[in-house]
Amino acid sequence: MLVDDCIFCKIIRTEVPCFKVYENDRNLAFMDINPANPGHCLVIPKFHAADLLTIPDDWLAGSVAAVKLVATAVQKALAPHGLNIVQANGPGAAQSVMHFHWHVLPRGEDDGLRLNWGLQPGDMDAIAILAKRIQGFI
């Protein structure tokens, strides 16, 4: 089930473009256009649920394997110092898009990134290049 007024549902329906890195029948992964670090990706279920508290268990379970696949590709493509998998629920956790999603967040040594990072638009050409590199390892 998708809804009309959700940016991620629009991306799933290809009404809004994205830098796609992976897709299967139940999940879509694409680059975050406000990357906290280079290679920052999002993995979303093709089902509209706002958050962890409301996503059906089978959709949640299916998304975990997709996160692992994408995280593995990011690690191989970019060899970051580490990877955080972040998942926000509610405004106090800085959730800005109310469609359940995982952040796959490459970490640099001493990058100083804090849990609730601010949204800063990235360089779209650089993001497109990173998307292709990550895709190459899926």
Interface with ligand AMP (CB under 6 A): 7, 16, 18, 32-34, 42, 88, 94-97, 119
Q: How far apart are CA 16 and CA 71, in angstroms?
A: 24
Q: Which is nearer to ligand AMP, 4 or 96 (CB)?
A: 96
Catalytic residue among 48, 99, 101, 103: 101
Task: Provide the minimum distance between the beta carbon of 73 and ligand AMP in the complex, in angstroms, as a whole number.
Answer: 17
Residue 101 among the catalytic residues? yes
Task: Provide the minimum distance between the beta carbon of 127 and ligand AMP in the complex, in angstroms, as a whole number.
Answer: 9
Q: How far apart are CA 126 and CA 12, in angstroms?
A: 22
**84: β partners:** 105
Q: Which two tokens stand for residue 48?
A: 């509209």
Q: Which is nearer to ligand AMP, 78 or 86 (CB)?
A: 86
Task: Provide the minimum distance between the beta carbon of 86 and ligand AMP in the complex, in angstroms, as a whole number.
Answer: 7
Q: How far apart are CA 138 and CA 114, in angstroms?
A: 28
Catalytic sites, residue numbers:
101
